[in-house]
Amino acid sequence: MNILDKLERKLGRFAIRELMVYIVGINALVYMLRYGMPQSDAIGRLMLDPQMIMRGEVWRLITWVFIPPSASLLWIFFILYFYYMVGTGLEHAWGSFRFNVYYFTGVLGTALAAFITGGGTTALYLNLSLFLAFAYIYPDYEILLFFIIPVKMKYLAWLNWAFIAFTLVTSPLAYKVAALVSISNYFLFFGREILSTTKRRGSSYNRRRAFAPPSRGTIHKCTVCGMTEDDDKTMDFRYCSTCEGAHEYCREHLNNHEHVTAKKLAD
């Protein structure tokens, strides 16, 4: 029994059921507030700001997860629905307690990254870690990209990993730390399994190499040009009776070569 099993037995009753329903619902409310009252400073009061947290606004440690992405009214519906689908899919696969642990580990990691760098951040990488977990568990699940093109989750996951790598190479330090720390939950949950799978694949590959039949060598080779039967399946090869030793030639060089003598061999 691993540590998560032990924690679940002791603390499982405290898990928030349907956590993603609450998060998506509050995101929708905040979006409508910003959409209907653009002059309000609701978003500014929710942002993850280490300096303001140190001044006593401790609610910012969690309220930043309720800030919706900047998108049109049409697109925000599909974005929030996608968050809901991914979150509930993970909760159905793991149970409420493990999903809570995964999500709040990402929240803690993102907050920690903000304090390390001194700058605020968004829920982008936290939500990305949810998507990567969903793609790992349901790699062949298909969605309609642009409502037309069916794409499997595993391929979209590779694009997201590329986005993270691009962030680590080109973005300022604050974004680099946020990208790494906020997906720490992904490696905590799947790191051991990924390493085990990689080792098994490596062992299987080595076993296949060890038991693979040796490659077939060539039988005939022209002494002059080096042609073999692999180069021309129809070529005839003959030994020269005049040459000292076993020297084989193709049709072109059988009667057109310098004979090998004992003196030349000695030289």
Are 85 and 11 within one domain?
A: yes
Phi, psi dihedral angles at 69 (to 5 degrees): -65, 155
Mean pLDDT of 203-214: 56
Phi, psi dihedral angles at 28 (to 5 degrees): -65, -40
What's the total number of domains in the chain?
2
Are 190 and 237 within one domain?
A: no
Are 11 and 142 within one domain?
A: yes
Q: Give the span between the Cα atoms of 193 and 200, in whole angstroms.
A: 10
Structural domain containing residue 242? 217-267
Quote the mean pLDDT of the chain.
Answer: 81
Are 260 and 177 within one domain?
A: no
Are 7 and 56 within one domain?
A: yes
Instruction: Quickly count: other Cβ atoms within 10 Å of residue 256's Cβ.
Output: 10
What's the pLDDT tens digit per position in 120-146?
677 888 888 898 899 888 888 887 776
Q: Which residue has the higher pLDDT, 147 or 15?
A: 15
Are 139 and 247 within one domain?
A: no
Q: Give the span between the Cα atoms of 107 and 104, in whole angstroms.
A: 5
Are 69 and 130 within one domain?
A: yes
Domain assignment present for 48: yes
Are 117 and 236 within one domain?
A: no
∠ CA 16-18-23, nearest 5°, is 90
Q: Above 60 in pLDDT, residue 204?
A: no
Q: Give the span between the Cα atoms of 250 and 223, in whole angstroms.
A: 8
Domain assignment present for 202: no
Structure tokens at 155: 């391929």
Enumerate residues 6+ apart whose C-beta is below 8 A from 34. Answer: 40, 42, 43, 68
pTM beyond 0.75: no
Nearest Cα neighbor of 185 from 102, 69, 62, 68 is 102
Q: Above 90 in pLDDT, residue 112?
A: no
Structure tokens at 208: 């296949």
Nearest Cα neighbor of 80 from 59, 94, 96, 66 is 66
pLDDT at 214: 46
pLDDT at 26: 93
What's the pLDDT tens digit per position in 218-249?
677 888 888 887 788 777 777 777 777 777 88
What's the pLDDT tens digit per position in 20-72?
999 999 999 998 888 877 777 778 888 888 888 888 889 998 988 998 888 77
pLDDT at 215: 45
Core vs surface per residue 218-255: b (16+ CB within 10 A) or e: eebbbbeeebbeeeeeeeebeebeebeeebbbbeebbe
Residue 239 pairs with which residues in a beta bridge? 248
Enumerate residues 6+ apart whose C-beta is below 8 A from 51. Answer: 118
Q: Give the span between the Cα atoms of 85 and 93, in whole angstroms.
A: 12
Are 64 and 34 within one domain?
A: yes
Q: Above 70 in pLDDT, residue 115?
A: yes
Domain assignment present for 208: no
Percentage of the chain lying above the pLDDT 70 cut = 88
Q: Please, are residues 218 and 229 in contact by the beta-carbon 8 Å criterion?
A: yes
